[in-house]
C-alpha cells in the first residue's frame, strides 16, 4: 500500500524535473484558479530554443537603455562597497509611470484574501494603493490553492511568461542560473547597480555575509526580495529574528502537567510522552506528523533527525568541510528505526505521507494529537483556536531532542539568516521594459512601500483602520485586525497586508507578532545550542551545467530514496536487511558525482 501511495505522490516530482521540456500546454491566464497538468518530455533544449527565438526581439527592445556607467569593480565585492554604489544609482521617484503601463506578476495568493472572496491580489487594498503610488497597473498570475507545482510548470512551459516572476526556481533544472541561461529570466545584475539603490543599501548595511548570500560565485545578483530579518534592539527583551530558529516542535503543556511529565528533551523522553498521550489521553495521532520528506517546515527544523546527526533530506557538511548526503549515513538507519518504532506503536500514522501542515494543526487543535511541528508565526493562532476547543489548552515549545545529553550541540538547525531564505523576485525576458521593472522592484525597498505591505493602507475608509501609531511612535495593529471575529489573526492580517512584497521584516511588526512569552520561549528553546554549521549553505550556487546534471541525478535518487524510506518506516522492507543495499543503490545512481559537484560549489561559496 505504501509503495502505491508513494508512486502516486512522486510521479509529479519526475514531471517537475523535466519542466524545461514541457510542450503543447495551455497558457495560464492571470489569476487563474485551475490549470491542466503539463505533458513531460526530455527535450529541454526545445523549450529553450523556442523561448529564446520568441523573445529575442522583445529582449533587444527591452534592453535599449543608456550605456551603464563605469562602476568600480572593487565596490561590487564588499557590503560597504554596495552602500557606496547605492549613492550613485538612480533614485526611486514616485510615480514611476503615468498609469499607462501594466505589469503581469506571478506571486503568492494567501489564504486570508482567498477566504475574503478576492479573485486575485489585484483586489487587495495594499496592492491598489501600490498601483496608485507607482503609476504601474498590475495583473496577477496565482497558483491554485494546494497546487503541487503544476501551475508554475505549465506557465513556464507556455513561453508566455508574466513580466515579474516571484520564485526561487527550485525545481527548474539549473534553478535560477538555469532559468537565466535558458532565456526565461533576465540577469539583472547591471540593472541593479544602475537602478536599485534601495536594495543595494539594504543589503550593504547588513554586512558581507548577507551580500554573499544574494550573489552567485561569478558575482551575479540572484536574490532580490529575499528575507531580511530584524536584529532586535539592544537592551530590550525582544531579541529579533536574525539568528533564531523559527520553526520547531510544540507539545500540549496541559497534558504534560496532568500526566506529571517533565518537558521532554531527549528522544526517549519524547517517546514516553507520546505513549502517554496515546494511552491516557486517547490521542489518535500522538505526533501529528506532516509530509516529513517533502514539506519545507520539517526540513527546516529537522528536529528529530538532528538527534542522530543527519539531515532529513539534504546534504550536509562534516567538521572537515566535506560534503555528505545524510540519507546514506549509518546514523540515518538509526533515525529510520525510530520512525518504524513510532509507526508500529501508533505514535505516528501512515497518513503523514500526504498530510499538509494545516491538517496537522487541526489534529493538534482539536485534541487528537499532542505534538506538532510549527512555525513561530502560528503559535498565537494555535493557542487561540485550541482554547476555543478546550479552555485548558496550553502549549510548550520543545528544544530539538538529543539522544542522551540534552545540551549537546545541534549543527543541523536552520536559524534565520538574512539573504539566505525567502522567495526571490525576477524579471522575465518577455517583459517589455527591464529598466522600469527594476525600478518597480527597487521601490519595494522604500520605507513607504515597506510600511504599506507590512501594515496595510491604514484608514480603510469605512470607519476601520489596519494600524495606528502609538504614543511611543511605533506601528501597532488596530483592534479591527487583532480581534476580528471573521478569521484568526494570523489569517486576517493578510487580508490587508502582503508579505510576498515585503522587502524586510519590519521591527515594529515583529515585536508585536513575537513579543508574547510563548513566542520568545519558542525562539529560546528551538535555538538551544543550535546552528546551521552542519548544513550545506543555501547560498551555494551551481553553474548551469552543474545544476542540470545534479537535477538529472538527484531526481532519480530522491524518487528511489523517498519510496524506499517509506517502505522501511511502514515495514514493507526490513531496515536491518535492506539498508546496506539501499545505500549501495543510491551510490550507483550517481551520488559520488553529485557530492563532487557540491564539494566544488561549497569551496567556491566559502571563497566569495
pLDDT at 164: 98
Average pLDDT of each block of 10 consecutive residues along the chain (608 residues)? Answer: 36 36 39 36 39 44 55 92 96 97 97 95 98 98 91 94 95 87 96 97 90 89 81 64 88 98 98 98 94 80 94 93 97 97 94 84 95 93 94 97 96 82 90 98 96 97 96 93 87 95 87 86 94 89 88 94 96 97 98 98 89
Exposed / middle / buried, residue 522 (Cβ in 10 Å: 0-12, 13-18, 19+)? buried
Of the chain, the end-to-end C-alpha distance in Å amounts to 48
**pLDDT value, residue 338:** 97
114/525 Cα distance (integer angstroms): 34
pLDDT number for residue 600: 96
Dihedral sign from CA coordinates of 557, 562, 567, 568: positive
Is 57 strand, coil or helix? helix
Return the C-alpha cell found at 293.
520528506
81 half-sphere exposure, CB direction, 13 A CA radius: 12
pLDDT at position 559: 95
Q: Is the dihedral of CA 85, 89, 95, 98 positive or negative?
A: negative
Which has the closest alpha carbon to 576: 345, 343, 337? 337
The whole-angstrom separation of Cα 13 and Cα 15 is 5
Q: What is the pLDDT of residue 421?
A: 66
Determine the pLDDT at residue 10.
33
Q: Residue 245 has which C-alpha cell?
A: 530558529
Residue 52 is predicted with a pLDDT of 47
Write out the three cell numbers for 42. 526530455
Q: How far apart are CA 481 and CA 490, in angstroms?
A: 9
Give the pLDDT confidence score for residue 85 in this predicted structure.
Answer: 96
pLDDT computed for residue 64 by the predictor: 47
Q: Between the CA of residue 169 and those of 28, 223, 510, 561, what are the distances in Å?
A: 18, 11, 28, 23
Torsion of CA 504, 181, 189, 507, to 10 degrees: 0
Q: Which stretches does DSSP call E strand in 84-217?
A: 101-106, 136-141, 164-166
* Euclidean distance between CA atoms 4 and 8, whole angstroms: 6
pLDDT of residue 235: 58
**E runs forming strands in 290-430:** 315-317, 323-325, 371-375, 395-398, 425-427
pLDDT at 431: 98
Amino acid at each position: 500500500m505504501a509503495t502505491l501511495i508513494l508512486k502516486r505522490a512522486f510521479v509529479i516530482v519526475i514531471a517537475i524535473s523535466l519542466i524545461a521540456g514541457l510542450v503543447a500546454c495551455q497558457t495560464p491566464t492571470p489569476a487563474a484558479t485551475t490549470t491542466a497538468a503539463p505533458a513531460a518530455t526530455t527535450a529541454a533544449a526545445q523549450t529553450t530554443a523556442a523561448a529564446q527565438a520568441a523573445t529575442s526581439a522583445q529582449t533587444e527592445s527591452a534592453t535599449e537603455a543608456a550605456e551603464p556607467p563605469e562602476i568600480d569593480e572593487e565596490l561590487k565585492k564588499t557590503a560597504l562597497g554596495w552602500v557606496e554604489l547605492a549613492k550613485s544609482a538612480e533614485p526611486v521617484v514616485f510615480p514611476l509611470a503615468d498609469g499607462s503601463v501594466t505589469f503581469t506578476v506571478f506571486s503568492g495568493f494567501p489564504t486570508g484574501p482567498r477566504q475574503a472572496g478576492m479573485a486575485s491580489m489585484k483586489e487587495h487594498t495594499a496592492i491598489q494603493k501600490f498601483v496608485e503610488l507607482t503609476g504601474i497597473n498590475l495583473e496577477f498570475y496565482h497558483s491554485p490553492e494546494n497546487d503541487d507545482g503544476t501551475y508554475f510548470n505549465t506557465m513556464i512551459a507556455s513561453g508566455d511568461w508574466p513580466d515579474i516572476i516571484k520564485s526561487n526556481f527550485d525545481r527548474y533544472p539549473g534553478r535560477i542560473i538555469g532559468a537565466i541561461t535558458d532565456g526565461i529570466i533576465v540577469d539583472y545584475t547591471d540593472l541593479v547597480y544602475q537602478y536599485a539603490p534601495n536594495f543595494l543599501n539594504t543589503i550593504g548595511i547588513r554586512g558581507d555575509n548577507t551580500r554573499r548570500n544574494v550573489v552567485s560565485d561569478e558575482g551575479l545578483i540572484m536574490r532580490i526580495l529575499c528575507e531580511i530579518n530584524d536584529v532586535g534592539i539592544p537592551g530590550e527583551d525582544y531579541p529579533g529574528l536574525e539568528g533564531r530558529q523559527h520553526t520547531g516542535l510544540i507539545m500540549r503543556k496541559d497534558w504534560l502537567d496532568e500526566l506529571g511529565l517533565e518537558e521532554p528533551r531527549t528522544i526517549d523522553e519524547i517517546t514516553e510522552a507520546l505513549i502517554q498521550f496515546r494511552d491516557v489521553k486517547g490521542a489518535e495521532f500522538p505526533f501529528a506528523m506532516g509530509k516529513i520528506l517533502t514539506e519545507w517546515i520539517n526540513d527546516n527544523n529537522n528536529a528529530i533527525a538532528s538527534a542522530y546527526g543527519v539531515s532529513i533530506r539534504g546534504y550536509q557538511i562534516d567538521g572537515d568541510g566535506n560534503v555528505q548526503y545524510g540519507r546514506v549515513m549509518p546514523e540515518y538507519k538509526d533515525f529510520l528505526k525510530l520512525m518504524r518504532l513510532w509507526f508500529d506503536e501508533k505514535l505516528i500514522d501512515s497518513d503523514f505521507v500526504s498530510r499538509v501542515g494545516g491538517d496537522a494543526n487541526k489534529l493538534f487543535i482539536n485534541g487528537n494529537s499532542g505534538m506538532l511541528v510549527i512555525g513561530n508565526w502560528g503559535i498565537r493562532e494555535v493557542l487561540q483556536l485550541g482554547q476555543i476547543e478546550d479552555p485548558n489548552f496550553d502549549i510548550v515549545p520543545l528544544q530539538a531532542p538529543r539522544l542522551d545529553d540534552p545540551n549537546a550541540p545541534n549543527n543541523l538547525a536552520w536559524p534565520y539568516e538574512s539573504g539566505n531564505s525567502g522567495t526571490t523576485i525576477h524579471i522575465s525576458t518577455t517583459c517589455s521594459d527591464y529598466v522600469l521593472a527594476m525600478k518597480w522592484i527597487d521601490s519595494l525597498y522604500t520605507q513607504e512601500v515597506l510600511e504599506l505591505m507590512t501594515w496595510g493602507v491604514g484608514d480603510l475608509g469605512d470607519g476601520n483602520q489596519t494600524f495606528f501609531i502609538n504614543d511611543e511612535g511605533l506601528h501597532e495593529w488596530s483592534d479591527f485586525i487583532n480581534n476580528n471575529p471573521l478569521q484568526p489573526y494570523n489569517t486576517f492580517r493578510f487580508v490587508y497586508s502582503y508579505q510576498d512584497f515585503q522587502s524586510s521584516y519590519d521591527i515594529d511588526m515583529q515585536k508585536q507578532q513575537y513579543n508574547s512569552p510563548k513566542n520568545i520561549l519558542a525562539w529560546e528553546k528551538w535555538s538551544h545550542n543550535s546552528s546551521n554549521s552542519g548544513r550545506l549553505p543555501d547560498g551555494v550556487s551551481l553553474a548551469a551545467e552543474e545544476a542540470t546534471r545534479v537535477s538529472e541525478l538527484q531526481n532519480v535518487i530522491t524518487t528511489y530514496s523517498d519510496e524506499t524510506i517509506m517502505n522501511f518506516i511502514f515495514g514493507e522492507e526490513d531496515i536491518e536487511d535492506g539498508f546496506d543495499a539501499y545505500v549501495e543503490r543510491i551510490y550507483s545512481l550517481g551520488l559520488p558525482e553529485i557530492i563532487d559537484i557540491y564539494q566544488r560549489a561549497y569551496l567556491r561559496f566559502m571563497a566569495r
